[in-house]
Structure 1
Amino acid sequence: MAVASTASPTLGSASGAEERMDPKRVIAFLAMVFGMFMSILDIQIVSASLSEIQAGLGASNDEVAWVQTSYLIAEVIMIPLSGVLARILSTRVLFSICAGGFTLASALAATATNIEQMIVYRAIQGFIGGGMIPSVFVAAFTIFPPSKRNIVSPMIGLVATLAPTIGPTIGGYISHAMSWHWLFLINVIPGIIVAATTWSLIDFDQPDHSLMKKFDWWGLASMAVFLGSMEYVLEEGNNKDWFNDHHIVMGTIAMVIGGAIFFRRVFKVELPVVDLRAFSNTNFAFGSLFSFVMGVGLYGLTYLYPLYLSRIRHYDSLMIGQTMFVSGAAMFLTAPIAGILSSKLDPRVMMMMGFGGFAAGTYMMTGITADWDFYELLIPQILRGCSLMICMVPINNIALGTLPPDRMKNASGLFNLTRNLGGAVGLAIINTMITQRTDDHFARLSERVDWGNPAALDWLSSVGANYDAYGLDGSTVAVQKLAGIVTQQATLLSFIDIFMGLTVLFGSLVFMTLLLKKPKAAAPAGAGH
């Protein structure tokens, strides 16, 4: 209440003081942003290089997938937990420990000699690294006055969207130029610098060690089971045929039980691991919903584009990275424009522009064929990159910009969790749709190329004759080639279905934005201190 009642006088009387930013805090914030960039980048940096890691560690296909899955599960657990840890330890101690621990885990991952070691080190890396992400959002809305948010919001929005987008690009270049070990070693020197800088310069909050006595350990355990099981089920469900697999069934049971205990304790204990009261703020609730859907689009397309380029175009990781670089460049160039627009336009208008642009880009992709290459993908990728940045800035401001400072730390963890969960849910749905829709399209296409179709018979005869001339079994080769063409077309049609689904999803957000009320002016930084 005190924050709301004093916001306007403080803004009027202390605006001059607010405009003068402490250089130490600015440097500390930039170091935090870079730490967040490393943490988010490492989610996707291995995705284009899993085959090299698999060969280097002698792992199976199922085992090497856990190089990414273990990181995601651990990170999802830490992100919401970071709010209460920052209150107990202070942002300075939490962020510095996380940066140092992330650096050490990165070095250990580079020294892994078998897949078991790699999975453990990646889980440690993801868990510790996850603590850096929400702290950056808290710092942006705590130490900077509202007048500066058109600068800092695009910065953190750029990092949150650019890092996972260019992860495959950077990973592809590194693994080609050097070796997969450098995917992790590149974190070491920057990580040491970030840890040292943040330990020396962060000073905008104080620890409250008395909260440790109230810490809800059972809540932590149940949250870990709930979120960890959910991430596992979503990541592995499609590969294991969902509930036909014993492990998925057990994971779902663990998720339900862990969730029931977790939500009961959240509303019962004095100091819950995650404070859900932030959702009582309408702007935060809508912002979190939009963040969830942004996670679907961000991680979904970061997965779909490389999948198309590898399965249909047969690109290697380096060529995929070069093609995907367009979206990252578009985001980078749009960030300052988004910052300028955020100070001039109603945030609802910006979100409508972003959602509409994203929907237009995915709609263009519904015309995809097996011949699409860099130039056909150029405009959809530019639309994707620009639209994500235009969306992200107002979503961040609407979700976090009007919360009182005492709720900011917990709310930031929840807000970032929604984006990651959106990505996990989106990837699970996309993978399931690819599998199911490809099978459906294959069945329908197969009906049209049976032995009663004269055009199909003529094609088989013509192609078979070419191979007969070289002494091969032309009929068998022709049937195999026809089956390959049908499979390719079925896969393409499944991609088109997904792009159409994303078009409808983001198109609906344009209209949902109309339900938002124009956000009130944010409380100034420091109003609650």
Structure 2
Amino acid sequence: MSILDITVVSVALKTFQTVFDATPAQVAWTMTGYTLALASVIPLTGWAADRFGTKRLYLSAVVLFAAGSALCATAPNLELLVAFRVLQGLGGGMLMPLGMTILTRAAGPERVGRVMAVLGIPMLLGPIFGPILGGWLIDAASWHWIFLINVPIGVLAFAYAALVLPKDQVEPSETFDWLGMFLLSPGLALFLFGVSSIPEEGTVWSTRVLSTGILGLLLIVAFVPWALSGRTRHPLIDLHLFGNRNMSVAVVAMSLFAMAFFGASLLFPLYFQQVRGEDALKAGVLLAPQGFGAMITMPIAGVLSDKIGPGKIVMTGIVVITVGMAMFTQVGVSTGYPFLLAALFVMGLGMGATMMPIMSAALATLNHESTARGSTLLNITQQVAASIGTALFSVLLTNGLKDVDLRGPAGDVLSGMAGAFGTVFIVATVLVACCLVPAFLLPRRRPEQATPDEAGSERAVSEQARPELDATV
């Protein structure tokens, strides 16, 4: 639900404009505020999980997310709605890295691929089905229910987690990296705010984009020497994890994949709405084949990743995605829906074999103590890359549509718009294909067969923790 809530609001933006008498730029903050809060709190999750325990933190995050959702539904004006979305994002931002940490520790390196495949279902399907659920709830009830639906689910999640998760065994508390927090969290928020402002401003060179983006980037860059200096025993993000070859390669692969996948995900519903004239709900429903494809290959990819290593699986998945994306470069005004739905299904098949095996390749070589930090690092990478990809494709599409003569005949206008989409899909296809380079470097053997040089001393999982953690599964 925390991932789904990134996109579920997208279909309610027009409703918010009417209800709160606001401009499109103002209501867009209901999405931007949630995303920025999500990115800002992720760096804190690794430290907090080590300090307070994963169970306590998970329960707290569920309460914060559900409470923020309930408050959103009662917001009397747009300002409070944005504020409550930020509160909701603070809880939602902790849930995914915590879930990855809990499940990865419980699984151990020999089963991490299968567990990550299960966890990958909401990560891939959330953005796809968010608009569908949002459109249905708004049509069937009201906009309040896109938030209220999280409350009963949150109550069930809290009760179940309280019963089944093992009791926290917290070591002596680590010192908190205050300077790191003041550098990295505001840095990420400012940088992503600048990047997210690019589509609205229409250019990278606007004062709003440059001032916030550059300031955020400077803060992030300043964090790097501080984290590597050794003056703090427990930096907010452990950059020494990049000394692990599999982690480094996985981060590069994840960055390219997230830019291409999440950026291109913006294009599909826009094409159906702007060129084919579909409403938001039907545009969301038309994306369903992508989700079905991912659900078919994801569990298979998880099992195979544990048996033969993630490298071969990821490379196959990227080739399949590239084929599906290349099919969309041929879109026109009257391209047959069977062709388009088949392309989405093919892409879904590839996606199910790509993202989670990349993550499992990184986490399978980390020890018990490093898992929380590693999952936090991967989630930050995904969030930043997804925002950059969304901004990149938004600008490319906007610039392409500027060349369309809107005063011409309707058929020519739609043909020009379809051509602009096709050009942007070419860029997406190339970007996806570039993922083959880091994917080639991922391990192509099962985890327990990895050489000491590949895995290092961090391969071992704490056997003391395994009995308790196995109970979670």
TM-score by length of 1: 0.81
Query: What's 1:112 paired with?
Result: 75
Partners of 1:312 and 1:49 lie apart in 2 by 21
8 A contact 2:263–2:391 mirrored in 1: no
Q: Could you tell me which amino acid in structure 1 is paired with residue 17 of structure 2?
A: Q
Partners of 1:344 and 1:401 lie apart in 2 by 13
- Mapped pair 1:57 → 2:20: yes
- Mapped pair 1:255 → 2:216: yes
Query: What's 1:514 paired with?
Result: 440
8 A contact 1:358–1:388 mirrored in 2: yes
- Mapped pair 1:182 → 2:118: no
Alpha-carbon offset, residue 409 of structure 1: 0.6
Query: What's 2:452 paired with?
Result: none
TM-score by length of 2: 0.90
Which residue of the other structure, out of 160, 174, 177, is the alignment partner of 1:197? 160
Query: What's 2:269 paired with?
Result: 306
8 A contact 1:173–1:321 mirrored in 2: no
Q: Could you tell me which amino acid in structure 2 is paired with residue 151 of structure 1?
A: R
Alpha-carbon offset, residue 336 of structure 1: 2.8
Alpha-carbon offset, residue 344 of structure 1: 4.5
Give 3-state SS (helix, strand or coil) of 1:242's partner. Answer: coil
Alpha-carbon offset, residue 481 of structure 1: 4.1
Matches within 5 A, 1:328-343: 328-343=291-306
Deviations 1:277-301 (A, max 9, x none): 1111111111112212221233123
Structure 2: give runs of 5+ residues left out of the alignment.
449-458, 466-473
Partners of 1:340 and 1:413 lie apart in 2 by 24
Query: What's 1:392 paired with?
Result: 355
Query: What's 2:428 paired with?
Result: 502
Deviations 1:91-145 (A, max 9, x none): 0111100000100000000011111011100011111211111111112221124
Query: What's 2:454 paired with?
Result: none
Deviations 1:451-509 (A, max 9, x none): xxxxxxxxxxxxxxxxxxxxxxxxxxxx9343x54443333222212211122222232
Q: How many residues align?
A: 453
Deviations 1:212-268 (A, max 9, x none): xx2122221221221001111111123113355332232124213322432232223
Alpha-carbon offset, residue 71 of structure 1: 0.5
- Mapped pair 1:218 → 2:179: yes
Q: Which moved more, 1:182-191 or 1:293-302?
A: 293-302
Partners of 2:235 and 2:437 lie apart in 1 by 35
Alpha-carbon offset, residue 50 of structure 1: 1.4
8 A contact 1:348–1:518 mirrored in 2: yes
Matches within 5 A, 1:31-430: 38-203=1-166, 205-208=168-171, 210-211=173-174, 214-268=175-229, 269-372=232-335, 374-430=337-393
Alpha-carbon offset, residue 84 of structure 1: 0.6
Alignment CA distance shift 1:225-1:147 (3 Å): closer
Partners of 1:316 and 1:365 lie apart in 2 by 20
Alpha-carbon offset, residue 324 of structure 1: 1.3
8 A contact 1:293–1:419 mirrored in 2: no
8 A contact 1:49–1:317 mirrored in 2: no
Q: Which moved more, 1:73-82 or 1:337-346?
A: 337-346
8 A contact 1:398–1:519 mirrored in 2: no
8 A contact 1:296–1:427 mirrored in 2: yes
Give the percent of matched residue pairs that are identical in Structure 1 and Structure 2.
27
8 A contact 1:297–1:426 mirrored in 2: yes
Query: What's 1:459 paired with?
Result: none
Partners of 1:159 and 1:433 lie apart in 2 by 28
- Mapped pair 1:434 → 2:397: yes
Query: What's 1:491 paired with?
Result: 417
8 A contact 1:79–1:133 mirrored in 2: no
Give 3-state SS (helix, strand or coil) of 1:315's partner. Answer: coil
Alignment CA distance shift 1:323-1:81 (3 Å): same
Partners of 1:332 and 1:259 lie apart in 2 by 36
Query: What's 1:468 paired with?
Result: none
**Aligned alpha-carbon RMSD (Å):** 2.1
8 A contact 1:89–1:208 mirrored in 2: no
Alignment CA distance shift 1:346-1:408 (3 Å): closer
Give 3-state SS (helix, strand or coil) of 1:239's partner. Answer: helix
Partners of 1:60 and 1:332 lie apart in 2 by 38
Partners of 1:512 and 1:266 lie apart in 2 by 25
Query: What's 1:17 paired with?
Result: none
Alignment CA distance shift 1:102-1:480 (3 Å): same
Q: Which moved more, 1:330-339 or 1:278-287?
A: 330-339
Q: Which moved more, 1:119-128 or 1:202-211?
A: 202-211
Q: Could you tell me which amino acid in structure 2 is paired with residue 160 of structure 1?
A: M
Alpha-carbon offset, residue 423 of structure 1: 0.9
